[in-house]
Structure 1
Amino acid sequence: MKARTLRRHFKESLKSLARNGWMTFASASAVTVTLILVGVFFVIMMNLNKVATTLEEEVEIRVHIDVAANEQDRKVLERKIEHIPEVKTVQFSPKEKELNNMIESFGEDGEAFKLFEQDNPLNDVLVVKTKNPTDTMNVAKKIEKMNYAAKVKYGQGKIEKLFSVINFSRNVGLVLIVGLLFTAMFLISNTIKITIMARRKEIEIMRLVGATNSFIRWPFFLEGLWLGILGAILPIILISTSYRYVYDYLEPKLRGNFMELLEFNPFVFQVSGLLLLMGALIGIWGSLMSVRKFLKV
């Protein structure tokens, strides 16, 4: 396409937006409302996913070594666990460290446990992490059958429920976002279709004088692009401002906790770019779907 023709299409698309002010406003508003909903859901789901991922990373198997096992027995057990394909890491935690951790976890009340420093009743422990957190249950069952594995703990019952809730939340969030995007496409397509129907005579005249489908389609293609970009501006501003406020308010309160929010930068800029891209694609798709029926021979 020649540069002069492309400039002509740009001018025509902008003039059309100005001539059809109310329809432009209606189309851009439909994009705006939908992208606000999509943006809010996306921000919430991404932060929930971070919390879920952090929780998954905290899942571990604690293998209490039999008190009858010697150093060689412990190393043999450790090597066997390391050879399980799903296992990522195995760390040895001596019973002295386990006792110190218990004392620290109880704070002031933990002082009472110092009485056991001379005669420590705890077991040495192997802390096992899997490559995929969902493999925790299967790996734990394999370890239970090994010699000198006196007790295997991994939060049985609670872990299964945790993974179930996490998967359910992720699936629901994905379905909602996809549903909102299809709703947006439907709204934009119908709104732009009304605009194009009002200009069907213009399209018919252009076809009669020999204009190609591509020549007719380009201004509408660009109109859809502008509508999508215009509709994305307000959601980007609202979501960026709101997330900055929420992040500044909650981040200090959650610091040091597993429920940390995604950092403002670069997360908000990534969301902004995604919303802009979504708006542009939705606008283009709506325009192309609407003008297609008028270009059929």
Structure 2
Amino acid sequence: MKSSTISRHVRESFKSIGRNGWMTFASVSAVTVTLLLVGVFMVIMMNLNKVATDVENDVEIKVLIDLQADSKAETTLQQQIKDMPGVESMKYSSKEQELNGLVKDFGEDLSLFKQSNPLRNVLYVKAENPQQTATVAKKIDALDNTYEVLYGKGKIEKLFNFLNISRNVGIVLIIALLLTAMFLISNTIKITITARRKEIEIMKLVGATNWFVRIPFVLEGMWLGLLGAIIPIAVVTILYSQLYSVIAPKMKGEIFQLLDVTPFIFEVDLLILLMGVVIGIWGSFMSVRKFLKI
């Protein structure tokens, strides 16, 4: 296709947007509202997914070492756990370190136990896949020189089930919202093109090819998608930046953290922009097709 033809199509798409002011406004408004809903929901779900991931990554197995185990036996146990499939990391904590931690958390009264420490040496183990924590814990429990293996049995399984269900529900809701957005936007664009069916019929009758007729409408749909994405991008960026500046300092040091503004918000903005463009092009392409059969 010649560059002059492409330039003509671009000019025609812009002129069409200007000539059909109210229909353009209706289409852009539909794109804006639906993409704003999609953008806000994406920000919420991606942060909830991060919270779920943080919870999973915080899960660890606490291995209490038998009091009868000497230093050689403890070394052997540590090596066995390190070599075990599915283990990501392991940290050793002596009973003195454990007692110091309790004194720090619950007060100096517990320092009286330093004369006769009743605690045990401990190994803190993390599984490569948090969902496999229970499986790894059972394997460790079968090893020699372990007194007790703690990982929140019963509760941790319920937690992971809840997180998996939450993720699946979030994915379904996002897909449903995207399909709804595609339906609303494409139908609004279809109304715009239907109102101009006579223009398409005349172009066909004078010998214009299908692609010659279609390209200006496809470009117009792309411009409508771009215009409709501007406000959602601005609103989502400003709101999330403000929310982050208020909440992030209060959550500093906590397990749960919001996703950093950059690059997260730019990724969301890019997704919103791409959705607007793709849905606009798709809606125009599908809508104009039915009027090309003359």
Assess same fold via TM > 0.5.
Answer: yes
Return structure 1 stretches of 4+ with deviation > 3 angstroms: none
Partner of 1:131: 128
Partner of 2:59: 59
CA distance, structure 1, for counterparts of residue 126 and residue 47 of structure 2: 24
Partner of 2:8: 8
CA distance, structure 1, for counterparts of residue 291 and residue 250 of structure 2: 58
2:181 paired with 1:184: yes
Partner of 1:150: 147
2:27 paired with 1:27: yes
1:10-29 per-residue CA deviation (whole Å, 9 max, x = no partner) reads 11111111111111111111
Partner of 1:89: 89
Partner of 1:39: 39
CA distance, structure 2, for counterparts of residue 89 and residue 212 of structure 1: 65
Alignment of 1:99-114 (within 5 A): 99-106=99-106, 110-114=107-111
Partner of 1:277: 274
Shift of 1:286: 0.9
Partner of 1:69: 69
Shift of 1:266: 2.1
Report the RMSD for the aligned CA atoms in angstroms.
Answer: 1.3
Shift of 1:36: 1.0
1:90-133 per-residue CA deviation (whole Å, 9 max, x = no partner) reads 22111111111111122xxx211111112211111111111110
> 2:207 aligns to what SS in structure 1?
coil
> Partner amino acid for 1:160?
E
2:168 paired with 1:171: yes
> Partner amino acid for 1:273?
L
CA distance, structure 1, for counterparts of residue 213 and residue 142 of structure 2: 72
Shift of 1:88: 0.8
Of 224, 230, 254 in structure 2, the residue corresponding to residue 257 of structure 1 is: 254
Q: Which runs of 5+ in 2 are unaligned?
A: none
Contact residue 41 and residue 173 of structure 1 kept, 8 A: no
> 2:225 aligns to what SS in structure 1?
helix
> Partner amino acid for 1:120?
N
Shift of 1:209: 2.1
Contact residue 63 and residue 149 of structure 1 kept, 8 A: yes
CA distance, structure 2, for counterparts of residue 211 and residue 123 of structure 1: 86
CA distance, structure 1, for counterparts of residue 29 and residue 174 of structure 2: 18
Higher mean alpha-carbon deviation, 165-174 vs 230-239, is at: 165-174
2:210 paired with 1:213: yes
> 2:217 aligns to what SS in structure 1?
helix
Of 117, 122, 132 in structure 1, the residue corresponding to residue 119 of structure 2 is: 122
> 2:124 aligns to what SS in structure 1?
strand
Shift of 1:164: 1.7
> TM-score, normalising length from structure 1?
0.95
Residue correspondences, number? 294
Partner of 2:195: 198
1:49-74 per-residue CA deviation (whole Å, 9 max, x = no partner) reads 12111111111001100000111111
> Partner amino acid for 2:218?
F
1:23-47 per-residue CA deviation (whole Å, 9 max, x = no partner) reads 1111111111111111111111111
Q: Which runs of 5+ in 1 are unaligned?
A: none
Of 124, 138, 145 in structure 2, the residue corresponding to residue 141 of structure 1 is: 138
Query: Equivalent pairs: percent with the same residue?
Result: 60
CA distance, structure 1, for counterparts of residue 185 and residue 293 of structure 2: 21
> TM-score, normalising length from structure 2?
0.96
CA distance, structure 2, for counterparts of residue 288 and residue 175 of structure 1: 27
